A and B are shown apart, each in its own frame.
Chain A
Amino acid sequence: MGLRVLILRAPGINRDADAAAACELAGAQAERVHINRLADHSLCLHDYGFLVIPGGFSYGDHLGAGKLLAIDLQHRLGEQLATFVADGRPVLGICNGFQVLIKAAILPGLQGGEPATEHVRPQATLTHNASGHFECRWVQLAAEPASRCIFTQGMTMPIEVPVAHGEGRLVVADDTILDQLQTQGQIALRYVAPDGGDVTYPANPNGSVGNIAGLCNPQGNVLGLMPHPEDAVLPQQHPRWTREPWRQMGDGLLLFQNAVRYAAQL
């Protein structure tokens, strides 16, 4: 039996099947589990080696994308999740999952970062795209070589994956946070231009600061990213497969293979 991956379901999460398919293609055994099953302890997060918080519009995203599921995680799964992360097990938040991890202050997880209270201001957030609207398109991502992220190891060439979001613009509370993220190797993925030149819209589809597409925690085992590697795991999912040489696999599969391999070694 392969590594057990928990794909978290919640009201409005809708890319759980896509994430499960990607994990299975990477050799793991994926289980789509409703958050209520973890909250009522009928299942235990600790029995899984890898946690994926997939994309969607959890609870409708009416109070800012991911906000309610972030509160749900903090209040109902807080301890389980903290232990899971502290154990070094991989956690992947994709799109809405990334928004959830940010709003729950699990990312970027700098020293002193914790859930919003009267006195502590969060370090970063994901908000409305600079374009002002939801957008679905393919983008190119490059791994930051200095990153500690366990998901992007060995990613030497830019990869192509789709984005599909309306609130993916990374904003940091102040510039020192950006410096900190950089020096601690927490910037995992950046948007790059197809021609290698300056990165402007639409290569950076949402106006994120520093063209950041994905962030990891200081330990590198929690990754959040706006694009959807789970929808770029098969050759025929690529937008130009009819005019380019047939690929062996989709570019996004590498992230899942890395996580599964890493988790299996723990």
Chain B
Amino acid sequence: MAQYLVTVTPRTVAHTLPITQSLYLLAGSQLDPDTVARLTTELLHDPVIQQATWCALNTEALQADSGNFLPPGGHYLEIAYRPGVTDNEAESVLEGARRMGISGLEQARTLRRYLLPAHTDPQILAPTLANDLVQTTLIYRHDDDGAARRSLYLLLLTPPARVTARIHQVPLRDADDAELLRISQTGILALDLSEMQAIQAYFTQIGRNPTDGELETLAQTWSEHCSHKTFKARINYRCANRQSMSTALDPHLYSAYHRLQEDNEIDSLLDTFLITATRRVLEAHAAHSPLQWVLSAFVDNAGIVAFTRDYEVSFKVETHNHPSALEPFGGANTGVGGVIRDVLGVSALPIANTDVLCFGPLDLAAAALPPGVLPPARICHGVVAGVRDYGNKLGIPTVNGAVLFDPGYTANPLVFCGTVGIAPRGAHPRAARPGDVVVVLGGRTGRDGIHGATFSSVELTHTTASDVGSAVQIGDPITEKKFLDVLMQARDQGLYNAITDCGAGGLSSAVGEMGEQTGVTVELEHVPLKYAGLQPWEIWLSEAQERMVLAVPPQHLATFLDLCATEDVEATPIGHFTNNQRLHVMHHGQMVVDLAMEFVHNGRPQRMLEAVWQHTPTPQQGTSSPAPPMLTVRESLLRLLAHPNIASKERIVRTYDHEVGGATVIKPLVGVTNDGPGDAAVLQPLRHTYEGLALGCGINPHYGRLDPYWMALACIDEALRNVVAVGGNPSRTVILDNFCWGDPRQPDRLAGLVRAAAGCYDAAIALGTPFISGKDSLNNEYRDAHGQRMAIPPTLLISALAHVPDVRQTVTMDLKEVDNIVYLVGATRAELAGSHYALVCQIVAPDPQPARPDQTLPPLPPRVDLSKARQTFVALHTAIRAGLVRACHDISEGGLAVAAAEMAFAGGHGLHIDLSAMTIAAPWQPADPAHALGAPDAIAIKLFSESPDRFLVEVRPQDATAFEHSLSSTILTRIGRVTANTELRISTATDEVLTIDLATLKMVWQGGLDTGLSQESDL
């Protein structure tokens, strides 16, 4: 085998960065020097900006190669992907050679080489540039003898050894309970004792031990990720201390809340709260409308709703938290790839992506970082790059999202990825039939991602990275783009009967689910592999990315395979569907799996869990207890605008392509200089109709710390506010739930989860927003070497998808014209607990013994008035459709003051807010602690309270009467006027509260992420 090394060096380099070279290892038994020279010149470098050299891969040549360009006293640092990890650049080298008609190149690998100056310590730098999980590094000096390099290169070029296929029998039948648990733990099966006992009983009954493949299949199918066993568990809920305010809440509107005032048993959170809420909303809808609305909820890979008469849209939001914690780029990258496949799994064309990201504070001190955890800035940088890479490459605009920072996410960052798809109505076939061929499509199968499904159900520790590194992968977006193109054609030609994505659990999950009703037989030897060396169970369980599984009727098989071949997409028949209701997997005639489908899918014993609710919210981390001085309004506002959660995310948003597709009618950034914070994106996905879609989201872990019930209401209200603010129809808005929680086996965590699900029920019914899809990611905890546990704050993401009757009637949040009137819609209460005002003032809530009475805040987060909210949304939507609204902005984090400032600087117009007409609404009940203890001053409440269900609306003077009439059923306050200057002025009847230049406000808001992100970009 002839082997060569090509070194590519930039001609000019930035002075601040070390020189970075690209190294290519090329090998082939017939590879000659002329061919290498040609590849170097024509393929591997760009002569305008780079120069290249090449040499044979022997020690002398490597020695001679050293020393060039290296600063005196410096070091070389080389980084390569480990064998088996996707190396897209190397694949491109092979593809390029094929395109050039070169056949002698058989293997290629790539490395990066950093030329480090003398003053940098390569040992310190290496871990910041490479991720040991997926990459390997080599450090050497100019006088290196080349031996270590050569052996690394040979290792990289050595294909994995072939192995003899072995199918192990796991001695389960005679195992005692301790042994059952040991088998589960050592195998990363994440099965508990009762589940292991159920498996033992099944095999005892059929008179044999399970194979390794069978045990893995059951662990995967029964994993939290695939079977949602917590959400389907029977939960014994106890309420340790009831809240006094229950009497103030209408028992019909807040029925789930009242239910949780008592101890009770809940049989499946999913059924009791989420699915039932959806059913009730849809029943109410059907009672007054003959039109179909929700077409599929909680059944398919993504929820589906009717869009136009001829088209349907689908929406799915997934999380990829654990992988992103360990390998941020790859984790986020494959997270996006996975949710896109979910939408392809309902035969839809992906048209938009969303991303919501939660990280630790970007400026977290290195000393505060738990062992084995990557710095938040590095996670943020990698995750954003991973989202960008996949979405942009697939040509799907990333149009909506949020980025939150909180110490609670330091060890467990959250990465929510969503995809919206569109398809002709009824184009998605759903049922595999006996005789249909099982076809695997797309990427090849390797050892990547083994145990991803079960890994997501264990907590992270300081050694997780080395224990389950194989669960982390790098994506290959172009392979996915290629089969996306082919699948849309196959769908339109009716070539398949069923389709699903190959995600967590790999073929086991995909094929097992598709064949649940029929039965299926698979021959694993047909599955195309990336390399040799996989055991049969690994082929079956591998979560290698970029694969789909289809059920193709025999009469269409040739047509389908031809279609794939014409676009260079690999498609391989690997088995067929049967009618014996068995899951049957073979490898070269040996049995790998032979299980009854009934046991695989329904044999798992229901989990029994304990939940105990103690209404004693934990203080927010990072806040100090000594009473800080009260801030002025000016200082509060500036601190709020600079807070990373509120500050401009432009530098992240602009790295995502939000224009591709040409459908983004309301963009993420809006206003006179295209940089204001839009509430929601609006898409016009079809050119022949002005009907559109609005996409928004709601998330607030600060409320979750206080009471997840009220958090859920607030999140649903916020998601709905976002889409209504731009012109989405609240009566045709569907929502998705994504719960990210700690360990549900801890009764306090589970009680919070129960309360959040109950909140979802009350809010969805009162607001008329059905859930069409949902996902949970539990066990977001970190356990350090001493056993100390850290859970994320309770986090619920609500994503909203609203129908827009006519995109030409949508509005943005930037102030439009001088002399227009600004209204406040909705009631303002003294609701500062959990607010960002409390955060920037460092007020711990609640404080049982307040140092100063004026700092005491109500212990409950802002509460949604379910008797009013829907009415407000409908009235505002009617006014927007009538063309009475020039600008509209939802009031959320930071309250009225932040919303007003954002509207002003986005529009480039001054704004005078006069608080004198504004009243603070009556408390929820007289005993409300906010009032009993004495609240912060009225101005702070008016400006910074986060009472939900509120908007600021700009209206032309000539439309004022019509607007007021239209909103007559709501609490409406004329609060401000657009002014000809460039100032935000706030006053009361007697006092000037604040006058501040818009340029100052905007500068502070735009600079909020500077510190944290620039640290990372210096690398």
A residues adjacent to B (C-beta < 8 A): 9, 11-12, 14-15, 17-18, 21, 34, 36-37, 55-57, 59-60, 62-64, 67-68, 71-72, 75-76, 103, 115-118, 121-125, 127, 132-138, 162, 164, 171-173, 228, 230-231, 233-234, 236-237, 239-243
Report how many A-B pairs have Cβ atoms within 8 Å.
Answer: 160
Q: A18-B660, A21-B662, A125-B46 are in contact. List 9 more A-B contacts (CB 8 A).
A: A12-B478, A36-B568, A68-B92, A75-B100, A122-B48, A137-B674, A173-B48, A233-B662, A242-B812
Pick the contact of B89 from A17, A63, A237 — CB < 8 Å?
A63
Asked if B670 is an interface residue, CB under 8 A from chain A, the answer is yes
A236 and B726 CA atoms in complex are apart in Å by 14
A117 and B38 CA atoms in complex are apart in Å by 8
| CB <8 Å contact, A17 and B41 | no
| CB <8 Å contact, B42 and A242 | no
Can you name 25 A-B residue pairings with CB atoms under 8 Å?
Answer: A11-B482, A12-B478, A12-B481, A14-B481, A21-B662, A34-B566, A55-B660, A57-B392, A57-B393, A59-B96, A60-B393, A68-B95, A68-B99, A103-B46, A115-B42, A116-B42, A117-B41, A136-B657, A164-B660, A231-B661, A234-B662, A236-B807, A236-B808, A239-B670, A242-B812
| CB <8 Å contact, A134 and B657 | yes
Pick the contact of A240 from B674, B684, B811 — CB < 8 Å?
B674
A223 and B11 CA atoms in complex are apart in Å by 28
Residues of B within 8 A of A64 (CB): 46
Pick the contact of B659 from A11, A34, A103, A136 — CB < 8 Å?
A136
| CB <8 Å contact, B46 and A164 | no
Residues of A within 8 A of B393 (CB): 12, 14, 56-57, 60
Within 8 A of A (CB), among B461-513: 476-478, 481-482, 485
- Mark B43-58 against chain A: 1 for CB-CB distance below 8 A, else 0: 1101111000000000
| CB <8 Å contact, A71 and B684 | no
Residues of A within 8 A of B660 (CB): 14-15, 18, 55, 164, 231
* Known contacts A34-B567, A137-B654, A234-B662; is-contact A116 B812 (Cβ 8 Å): no
Residues of B within 8 A of A236 (CB): 665, 684, 807-808
Shortest distance between the CB of B428 and any CB in chain A (Å): 20
| CB <8 Å contact, A132 and B566 | no
Asked if B667 is an interface residue, CB under 8 A from chain A, the answer is yes
Asked if B31 is an interface residue, CB under 8 A from chain A, the answer is no
* Known contacts A14-B393, A71-B96, A237-B662; is-contact A133 B655 (Cβ 8 Å): yes
| CB <8 Å contact, B657 and A230 | no
A121 and B811 CA atoms in complex are apart in Å by 52
Residues of B within 8 A of A115 (CB): 42
| CB <8 Å contact, A118 and B96 | no
| CB <8 Å contact, B100 and A122 | no
A15 and B47 CA atoms in complex are apart in Å by 28
A14 and B667 CA atoms in complex are apart in Å by 20
Within 8 A of A (CB), among B652-686: 654-662, 664-667, 669-672, 674, 684
A114 and B661 CA atoms in complex are apart in Å by 34
| CB <8 Å contact, B665 and A237 | yes
| CB <8 Å contact, B674 and A21 | no
Residues of A within 8 A of B41 (CB): 116-118
| CB <8 Å contact, B656 and A136 | yes
- Mark B539-583 against chain A: 1 for CB-CB distance below 8 A, else 0: 000000000000000000000000000111000000000000000
Residues of B within 8 A of A57 (CB): 392-393, 477-478
* Known contacts A63-B89, A116-B47; is-contact A164 B482 (Cβ 8 Å): no
A239 and B664 CA atoms in complex are apart in Å by 9
A9 and B785 CA atoms in complex are apart in Å by 53
| CB <8 Å contact, B92 and A63 | yes
Q: Which of B96, B392, B478, B481 has the most CB of A within 10 A?
A: B478
Residues of B within 8 A of A12 (CB): 393, 477-478, 481-482
Residues of A within 8 A of B662 (CB): 18, 21, 230-231, 233-234, 237
Asked if B877 is an interface residue, CB under 8 A from chain A, the answer is no
Shortest distance between the CB of A206 and any CB in chain B (Å): 13
* Known contacts A57-B393, A231-B660; is-contact A11 B47 (Cβ 8 Å): no
What size tier do the contact residues of chain B reach?
35 or more
A231 and B568 CA atoms in complex are apart in Å by 28
Residues of B within 8 A of A122 (CB): 46-48
A62 and B475 CA atoms in complex are apart in Å by 13
- Mark B390-406 against chain A: 1 for CB-CB distance below 8 A, else 0: 00111100000000000
Within 8 A of A (CB), among B296-329: none
Residues of A within 8 A of B1017 (CB): 132
Cβ-closest chain B residue relative to A60: B478
Q: Which of A68, A75, A121, A136 has the most CB of B within 10 A?
A: A136
Asked if B277 is an interface residue, CB under 8 A from chain A, the answer is no
| CB <8 Å contact, B100 and A59 | no
Residues of B within 8 A of A56 (CB): 393, 395
- Mark B789-803 against chain A: 1 for CB-CB distance below 8 A, else 0: 000000000000000
A255 and B394 CA atoms in complex are apart in Å by 26
A261 and B898 CA atoms in complex are apart in Å by 51
Shortest distance between the CB of A197 and any CB in chain B (Å): 15
| CB <8 Å contact, A242 and B481 | no
| CB <8 Å contact, B394 and A135 | no
Residues of B within 8 A of A67 (CB): 43, 46, 96
Asked if B93 is an interface residue, CB under 8 A from chain A, the answer is yes
Residues of A within 8 A of B392 (CB): 57, 134, 164
Residues of B within 8 A of A15 (CB): 395, 660
* Known contacts A18-B660, A243-B812, A243-B816; is-contact A63 B96 (Cβ 8 Å): yes
Cβ-closest chain A residue relative to B47: A121
- Mark B704-736 against chain A: 1 for CB-CB distance below 8 A, else 0: 000000000000000000000000000000000
Pick the contact of A231 from B100, B566, B659, B671 — CB < 8 Å?
B659
* Known contacts A34-B566, A171-B48; is-contact A68 B481 (Cβ 8 Å): no
Residues of B within 8 A of A137 (CB): 654, 674
Residues of B within 8 A of A125 (CB): 46, 48-49
| CB <8 Å contact, B672 and A71 | no
| CB <8 Å contact, B661 and A11 | no
A67 and B50 CA atoms in complex are apart in Å by 14
* Known contacts A14-B395, A164-B659; is-contact A121 B48 (Cβ 8 Å): yes
Residues of B within 8 A of A243 (CB): 671-672, 812, 814, 816, 907
A124 and B482 CA atoms in complex are apart in Å by 30
| CB <8 Å contact, A162 and B659 | yes
Shortest 9 CB-CB distances between A and B: which pairs?
A: A14-B395, A125-B48, A62-B92, A62-B89, A60-B478, A164-B657, A231-B662, A162-B659, A57-B393
Asked if B433 is an interface residue, CB under 8 A from chain A, the answer is no
Shortest distance between the CB of B1017 and any CB in chain A (Å): 7
Shortest distance between the CB of A78 and any CB in chain B (Å): 12
Asked if B288 is an interface residue, CB under 8 A from chain A, the answer is no
A56 and B664 CA atoms in complex are apart in Å by 17
Residues of B within 8 A of A164 (CB): 392, 657, 659-660
Asked if B162 is an interface residue, CB under 8 A from chain A, the answer is no
Cβ-closest chain B residue relative to A68: B96
